[in-house]
Amino acid sequence: MPDILKKILKEILVLLLIIAASFGIELLVFNYRTFVKGEKADIFYQQGSETPESLETVEEMAHGVRLVMKEPTYIKKLQVVLNTPEKIDYTFYVRYDNSFKTEELEKVTDAYWPELGSGFSNIDKDVKVLSLAFPKGVELKSIHLYSITAMNKYRLLFLMITLLLIYVIFTKKQWFSRQLDWITAAAILILGSFTIFSQGISENGWDEQIHFKNVYQLSFVGGEIKSNDTYRLMCDRLTKDRYNTAEEKELLTQYLNDKYHSNEEMIENSVGFKPSYTGYLLQAFGVWLGRLMNLSFNRMYMLGKFMNLLLYVIGMFFAIRLMPRKKEIIAALAMVPTQVYIATTYTYDVTLNVFMMLGMVLWLKAVLEERTNAIRYLLGSVLAFGFGSLSKAVYIPMIAVCFSIPEKIFKDKKQKRSFFILVSVVLLTVLMTFVLPTLIWNATDQIGTTGDPRGGDTDVVLQLRNIMAYPLQYIRLFFKEVFREFGRYFAGTPGLAFFGRMNELPSRWNYILIPWIFGMTFLSRKEDCWVLEKKYKISLGVILFVVLGLIWSALYLSYSPVGATHISGVQPRYYYPLMLPLMLLLGNKRCVIDISQDGYIRIAIVVPLVLMLVGMYGNFFAQ
């Protein structure tokens, strides 16, 4: 038998074993009580009906019901059906024996959405007494306590992904050094696709309801769009507590799919087009394609997100491939959990992050290789910086690195002059997209119309005049805010392991995350130790300072109350486009470690990969 065929059969066998092991873990661990021990239960009570055989008594109260078991019974799930015209919170109390056979009482509050038809809650305890309480005016129709062997498809897929990644990490060491771009892209694609699939219809990203509204409207050509009940609901933003179990997730998906064709009407397209909307184009194409294919709403919604993920995967693949040295730095930054998660949401941040990364990499390639044909890399860098910064123009000063390049790259002075003119034109054009409107508002006294549309005592014009009246006080405020948050935003879980409305990983993970990012920044292998020349570092330092100033000042103008002594709205994720320049700025030849290339690369990728898996297990799929 040829060796290649043996290798293929071996990998197929491994995949089959991974699938079998995942099913085994799901059945033997997560369904141990029902599948192995056979502790199944099915207790259904309808208000006013006879007491089920498994119950000692049923005590109906004015605003609740109390169920007393004949003996402690393992209950996995609770299903309630209530008669209520609006969303309410209900509370249930579970009296049970813990693992030490000591009686305890647990109180749980859950949300009930009448449009779903049922509410589900996880119990997973040996129940002795269960009491259910609900607000005045709410009627209990039925309550169902049950324990059955049920395969959670999201958890099952998560187990398969985890086992597959473990297999690759420990048995495919050569892949990390030989195919770093492919292995990183594959990992991001797998993790991102699972995130999109497992979360389904959710708006847990930053201001995702606003981004989806813009994407949806841009997916229509012309001045009108088709509105419906689901679209209107998504624009108001789905609350985080819409579901917390796999059963409720399926009910919500079906509800939104049904409502997608309810009360359809053509309305005016209200978003128009702005330079920042270039970051939506691929997502809008995905939504348009889903509509063309007549997909259900949830599949169309996920397709739009997948287009964002695809852009991130392809962009980071080429960034790693084009990086002239220390490709593992780009791979590590590409695997940052926050950014992988952002790539699975509706946002224009992905376009910004990808093209800013490509711009820096192309500039580095031109500077470090110093070939006479490197001008094409510089042109690519200018285009990448320019296009990426259209989403958030405060980052356009990064293009100024293109002013710091070796003379030998240019054929003659004319080519050099033409290139510098191009860089200047792109820089000023993009910069004016947010500077010019502010100046016009100030010149025309547009007071009361330029603040945060979400409300608050904000006003761009008044805030600008406040800064001009008290420049020294603002400078002091700026430095205080920047230095206070600098380390936490660059190296902590807020900046590197944050998952939108699901929050960040617990602070204990900083014990892994901070050494990892500092190691990637300061430590180099003896065989691959290089630093930028001093002149480039000086340029990067000045540019980083300017960009930081624009970020904090833009947020102070738009989202901070007039005259406030704090700056509101700056989020750790805004620092991501600055991480590669900062790592280049801090690189040195003194901190050298003796480690193999395979080991160094695996550390670069595996640490963020593990943190991403931890975040996924805790947040990304309902039990």
What average pLDDT does range 311-333 have in this prediction?
94
| Residue 111 tokens, joined | 């949300």
Residue 598 scores a pLDDT above 90 = no
Give the Cβ contact number of residue 106 at 10 Å: 12
Domain segments of the chain as ranges: 35-150, 309-609
Q: Which residues contact 623 (CB under 8 A, 6 or more apart)?
A: 122, 152, 155, 245, 246
pLDDT tens track for 251-280: 999 999 999 999 989 898 888 778 889 999
Can you tell me whether residue 143 is helix, strand or coil?
strand
Q: What is the pLDDT of residues 187-232, one digit of tens each?
A: 999 999 999 999 889 888 889 999 999 999 999 988 889 999 999 9
The C-alpha atoms of residue 51 and residue 147 are separated, in whole angstroms, by 19
The model's pLDDT over 338-349, given as tens digits with 9 standing for 90+, comes to 999 999 999 999
How far apart CA 362 and CA 154 sit, in angstroms, is 39
Average pLDDT (300-326) is 96
For 79, half-sphere exposure in the C-beta direction (CA atoms, 13 angstrom radius) is 17
pLDDT tens digits, one per residue of 557-582: 888 888 888 898 889 999 999 999 99
Residue of 337, 336, 334 lying closest to 311 (CA atoms): 334
Confidence check: pLDDT of 57 > 60:
yes
Q: Are 92 and 131 in contact (CB under 8 A)?
A: yes
Query: What is the rounded distance in angstroms from the CA atom of residue 180 to the CA atom of residue 323?
Result: 11
- Across the chain, mean pLDDT equals 90
Residue-wise pLDDT for 501-523, tens only, equals 888 888 899 999 999 998 888 88
Distance CA(460)–CA(450), nearest Å, equals 5
Helix axes 460-469, 534-559, angle to 10 degrees: 120
Domain covering 35-150 in this structure, CATH number: 2.60.120.260
Q: Tokens 């889903």 appear where?
A: 290
CA dist., res. 280 & res. 128, Å (int): 54
Across 479-500, b (16+ Cβ under 10 Å) vs e yields eebbeebeeebbbbbbbbbbbb
pLDDT tens column, 145-172: 999 999 999 999 999 999 999 999 989 8
CA distance 569 to 11: 49
Report how far apart, in Å, the C-alpha atoms of 548 and of each of 307, 364, 583 are: 30, 21, 15
The pLDDT of residue 118: 94
Using 50, 70 and 90 to split pLDDT, how confident is the model at 623? low
Q: Tell me the sheet residues that pair with 207.
A: none
- Give the model's pLDDT for residue 448: 64
For 502, the enclosing helix (H) or strand (E) is: none
- Whole-model pTM: value is 0.92
Q: Which of 356-389 are b and which e, b meaning 16 or more Cβ less than 10 Å from the residue's Cβ?
A: bbbbbbbbbbbbbeeeeebbebbbbbbbbbbbbb
> 410-463 pLDDT, tens per residue?
888 888 899 999 999 999 999 888 888 887 877 777 776 666 666 567 878 888
d(CA 330, CA 604): 9
CA nearest to 257, candidates 204, 201, 210: 201
Read off the pLDDT of residues 472-511 as tens digits, 9 standing for 90 and up.
999 999 999 999 988 888 888 888 999 988 888 888 999 9
Locate tokens 């995949």: which residue? 15
